[in-house]
A = this chain, B = another copy of it.
Amino acid sequence: MSQKKRVAVLGASGYTGAETVRLLAAHPHVEIVILTAERKAGQALGAVFPHLAGLALPDLIHLDDVEWHGAELDAVICALPHVASQEVVGALFHATEHTVLDDIVGLAEPSPTGFEGQVRVLDLSADFRLTDAAAYEEWYGRPHQAPKLQTRAVYALPERNRAAIRNTALAAMPGCYPTAALLALLPLVDAGQIDVDDIAIDAKSGVSGAGRSLKEQNLYCEVGEAMHPYAVGRHRHMPEMEQELGKAAGRPVRIGFTPHLVPMNRGELETIYVRLSPGHTAEALKDTLRAAYAEEPFVTVLPGDLAPATRMVRGSNQCVLNVFEDRRAGRAIVVAAIDNLIKGAGGQAVQAMNIMFGWDETTGLTQAPLFP
């Protein structure tokens, strides 16, 4: 590797952005050249996140102050909130009126990736996950600003869309809840082993999933020594899961989904209740998952009846899965655990970037989980 790839991280002052930076800083083939933030612009990232003070990093600058021209970026990881994300990414790809970024991304000829720019964009927001403009507007309450990009972005779940990720310039990184759910369910839908109309996903997440924004519900005392569900039946990760499950099923799908907030910083667990297709068993589902992930470095089907636990994946890019018999005939329970900030966000972005640039997919992601 003669030369490192030059990477910008937009929105580095949130938990997701900071985690992405932490991983990239240890990546042997990457150089972080731009970090942006809004309120914290002008500070060193180590001032905002003292745990990162030991890393050699550029200071945070405001998005408006990025000198795209001459930055010679190879990749942009966008950890901005939705809406903000589509504006920037749209601009990067000429897809909107906002053309301030033209110079570096405007090319006379379309790139082989089918996009107009050479820079690879990995977007951690929800803005490019939904292919359908109407669905976006329904769930996000406003029309998308770059609808053409919506249809061209790749839903970048590596275990599912590896080839497409390799060739895209715009990777829509999956949400944390969809990551765990889709890893658990897609092979089963492919195999026709479960009824896609009868899936209930009960999800539990650490509080970091809610980000670092100042909301009363994220205060320590609101969550400590307590738990509760939120956004029951209307969480914005639902259409994303339904879209991907629908693609696999070949027809529209609706799921039940209930996320819960748990008094822990990171970690995400999903307990998924499925109905078996006739003739199938929990053990058959497990065989399918084992086969699907036999060669995958980041997905493990646990042995025996060992239950997935968030402590098995904390601080790592791993996903652990298992399947259990439901006491009710004809049903099974699939359980998945990930670290929401890594496999559910920054780690998966690094994994996708590894694919894009042809590096070993585990580069920079070999950290074993941290327990206790």
Taking beta carbons and an 8 Å cutoff, which residues of A are in contact with B?
Answer: 15, 18, 22, 25-26, 49-55, 197, 200, 202, 204, 206-208, 212, 214-216, 218-230, 232-234, 238, 254-258, 260, 262-267, 269, 271, 273, 300, 302, 305-316, 318, 320, 324-329, 331, 333, 335, 337, 341, 366-372
Q: Within the assembled complex, what's the spacing in Å between the Cα atoms of A212 and B219? A: 8
Contact assessment for A228 and B308 in the assembled complex, using a CB-CB cutoff below 8 Å = yes
Give chain B nearest CB distance to A201 CB in angstroms. 10
Q: Within the assembled complex, what's the spacing in Å between the Cα atoms of A254 and B369? A: 38
Contact assessment for B221 and A208 in the assembled complex, using a CB-CB cutoff below 8 Å = yes
Contact assessment for B264 and A263 in the assembled complex, using a CB-CB cutoff below 8 Å = yes
The 7 closest A-B CB pairs, nearest first, are: A228-B309, A221-B372, A51-B369, A226-B311, A202-B202, A207-B220, A232-B324
Contact assessment for B225 and A225 in the assembled complex, using a CB-CB cutoff below 8 Å = yes
Known: A232-B307, A366-B26. A202 touches B51 (CB 8 A): no
Contact assessment for B220 and A218 in the assembled complex, using a CB-CB cutoff below 8 Å = yes
Contact assessment for A51 and B368 in the assembled complex, using a CB-CB cutoff below 8 Å = yes
Contact assessment for B227 and A267 in the assembled complex, using a CB-CB cutoff below 8 Å = yes
Q: Which residues of B contact A312 (CB under 8 A)?
A: 50-51, 53
Q: Which residues of B contact A324 (CB under 8 A)?
A: 232-233, 258
Q: Nearest chain-B residue to A207 (Cβ)?
A: B220
Q: Which residues of B contact A263 (CB under 8 A)?
A: 220, 224, 262-264
Q: Within the assembled complex, what's the spacing in Å between the Cα atoms of A271 and B257? A: 10
Give chain B nearest CB distance to A80 CB in angstroms. 19
Give chain B nearest CB distance to A352 CB in angstroms. 20
- Known A51-B314, A51-B371, A232-B333; 6 more pairs at CB < 8 Å: A54-B318, A202-B271, A204-B262, A207-B372, A228-B308, A255-B327
Q: List 28 A-B residue pairs with CB atoms under 8 Å apart, sorted by A's residue number.
A: A22-B370, A50-B302, A51-B312, A52-B368, A54-B300, A55-B368, A202-B258, A202-B271, A204-B260, A206-B225, A208-B372, A218-B219, A221-B372, A222-B311, A224-B224, A225-B267, A227-B309, A229-B308, A229-B335, A230-B307, A233-B325, A233-B326, A254-B329, A256-B273, A256-B333, A258-B271, A315-B370, A370-B370
Give chain B nearest CB distance to A88 CB in angstroms. 24
Q: Which residues of B contact A335 (CB under 8 A)?
A: 229, 232, 258
Contact assessment for B225 and A255 in the assembled complex, using a CB-CB cutoff below 8 Å = no
Contact assessment for B212 and A309 in the assembled complex, using a CB-CB cutoff below 8 Å = no
Q: Which residues of B contact A271 (CB under 8 A)?
A: 202, 229, 258, 260
Q: Within the assembled complex, what's the spacing in Å between the Cα atoms of A216 and B324? A: 23
Residue in A212, A256, A341 with the greatest tally of chain B CB atoms within 10 Å: A256
Contact assessment for A315 and B318 in the assembled complex, using a CB-CB cutoff below 8 Å = no
Q: Which residues of B contact A49 (CB under 8 A)?
A: 371
Cross-interface CB contact of A53 among B200, B225, B300, B328, cutoff 8 Å: B300
Residue in A212, A260, A308, A366 with the greatest tally of chain B CB atoms within 10 Å: A260
Contact assessment for B207 and A212 in the assembled complex, using a CB-CB cutoff below 8 Å = no
Q: Which residues of B contact A369 (CB under 8 A)?
A: 51-52
Contact assessment for A224 and B309 in the assembled complex, using a CB-CB cutoff below 8 Å = no
Q: Which residues of B contact A26 (CB under 8 A)?
A: 366-368
Give chain B nearest CB distance to A202 CB in angstroms. 4
Q: Which residues of B contact A305 (CB under 8 A)?
A: 232
Give chain B nearest CB distance to A238 CB in angstroms. 6
Q: Within the assembled complex, what's the spacing in Å between the Cα atoms of A54 and B265? A: 23
